[in-house]
Amino acid sequence: MPTPPNDAAQRRAAKPIVCYEVEQLPTYDSAFYETARSTLQKVSTVRVAPRDAATFEVPAGHFFRIVSTEGPQVGDLNLWNAHDLTERFFSGKTRQLHASHVSTGDRLWSNLPGLRPMATITHDTLDWYGWDDDGAGVHDVIGTRCDPYTNTMLKGVNYHYCCHSNLTRALAQQQAQPTAAIEQHVHDVLNVFMCTGFTADTHQYFMKASPVRPGDFIEFFAEIDLLGALSACPGGDCGSSHSDDTTPCYPLLVEIYQPAAQTLSDWAPAPLNGYDGSHGL
Ligand SMILES: [Zn+2]
């Protein structure tokens, strides 16, 4: 290893600066969301089978919940603009604007050039978890999704029920298109209920058994018309392995709720980003 320079300690002592002026983000209007959610009526439920995925649609101004049912289970969530698959959830920017793990009051942002809130997290029964002694938290936007390419590279076996493949199959069926045409639309996920962090010594991504239990849920408000897909990860609670059939897995539910119309009287769907798009040319 090269010898550190004489002023190494001084260089390391530079002060961390939070990258974005996040106080400029639209504030979380809890009174608005709490008023709307106090009037919710369930309009539909979609069951996501273990080691499989399902799609669902949420009109702007509706809520949806991802619910743990029969046992601890992690879900991998993709979101698209229901009218344009090229606008989709941008986990990297969501991580930069909020944190490595998200919860109530955080928003799920769309990719460039839209860059607008697609959904707002309005309730999370795992809010209590916070950060544990390993530095782990719940609902991360760090990891991507388990996929058959990485699995083949590392283990030399074909496995067809990774979240990437589950999401691809579900969207292909919903769009009535072959998987080859659809796979490009599957993107980095929100790891719902997953408990993750970075190791203190080597900063490697780790997972540990999810604290989720039947009855827990995370709730979102749709800021635009959404098409979603949720995979019940083959890793189950992600406490041991993934990308195989060895871990117990359980179904997840997606419940769609409609609030009373009068609670939305002053609300409008999120507008597209205001940048002029010229890039200086
Ligand atoms: Zn997975």
Residue 243, pLDDT > 80, answer: no
Any domain includes 15: no
pLDDT band at 226 (very low <50, low <70, confident <90, very high): very high
Ligand 1 centre from 117 Cα, in Å? 24
Q: What is the pLDDT of residue 241?
A: 76
pLDDT band at 143 (very low <50, low <70, confident <90, very high): confident
pTM: 0.96
Ligand 1 centre from 110 Cα, in Å? 21
Instruction: Find the mean pLDDT for residues 150-163.
Output: 96
Burial of 102 (0-12, 13-18, 19+ CB in 10 A): buried
Structural domains of the chain, count? 1
pLDDT band at 206 (very low <50, low <70, confident <90, very high): very high
pLDDT tens-digit profile of 55-104? 999 999 999 999 999 999 999 999 999 999 999 999 999 999 999 999 99
Any domain includes 246: yes
Ligand 1 centre from 91 Cα, in Å? 16
Q: What is the pLDDT of residue 240?
A: 87
Any domain includes 118: yes
pLDDT band at 244 (very low <50, low <70, confident <90, very high): confident
Distance of alpha carbon 84 from alpha carbon 256, whole angstroms: 21
Ligand 1 centre from 165 Cα, in Å? 9
Distance of alpha carbon 105 from alpha carbon 115, whole angstroms: 17
Averaged pLDDT of the chain: 96
DSSP per-residue codes, 105-125: T-EEEBPTTT--EEEEEEEET
Ligand 1 centre from 254 Cα, in Å? 17
Ligand 1 centre from 84 Cα, in Å? 25
pLDDT tens-digit profile of 27-54? 999 999 999 999 999 999 999 999 999 9
Residue 172, pLDDT > 80, answer: yes
Ligand 1 centre from 247 Cα, in Å? 12
pLDDT band at 222 (very low <50, low <70, confident <90, very high): very high
Ligand 1 centre from 145 Cα, in Å? 5
Ligand 1 centre from 77 Cα, in Å? 10
Ligand 1 centre from 49 Cα, in Å? 13
Q: Which two tokens stand for residue 76?
A: 């991998």
Ligand 1 centre from 16 Cα, in Å? 33
Instruction: Find the mean pLDDT for residues 7-12.
Output: 96
Instruction: Find the mean pLDDT for residues 254-262.
Output: 98
Any domain includes 53: yes
Ligand 1 centre from 4 Cα, in Å? 41
Ligand 1 centre from 127 Cα, in Å? 22
3 state SS of 167? helix
Ligand 1 centre from 76 Cα, in Å? 6
Any domain includes 206: yes
Any domain includes 143: yes
Residue 1, pLDDT > 90, answer: no
3 state SS of 185? helix
Any domain includes 29: no
Ligand 1 centre from 236 Cα, in Å? 8
Any domain includes 34: no
Ligand 1 centre from 113 Cα, in Å? 28
Q: What is the pLDDT of residue 12?
A: 96
Work out the angle between the directed axes of helices 148-155 and 163-175 (0-180°, nearest 10): 150
* Structural domain harbouring 158: 44-260
Q: What is the pLDDT of residue 138?
A: 98
Neighbours of ion ligand 1 (CB under 5 A): 146, 163, 233
Ligand 1 centre from 108 Cα, in Å? 19
Q: What is the pLDDT of residue 224?
A: 98
> What percentage of the chain exceeds 70 in pLDDT?
100
Ligand 1 centre from 195 Cα, in Å? 13
pLDDT band at 26 (very low <50, low <70, confident <90, very high): confident
Ligand 1 centre from 116 Cα, in Å? 26
Instruction: Cite the DSSP H helix spans in the chain.
Output: 8-12, 30-37, 91-97, 148-155, 163-175, 179-182
Q: What is the pLDDT of residue 28?
A: 95
Ligand 1 centre from 207 Cα, in Å? 12
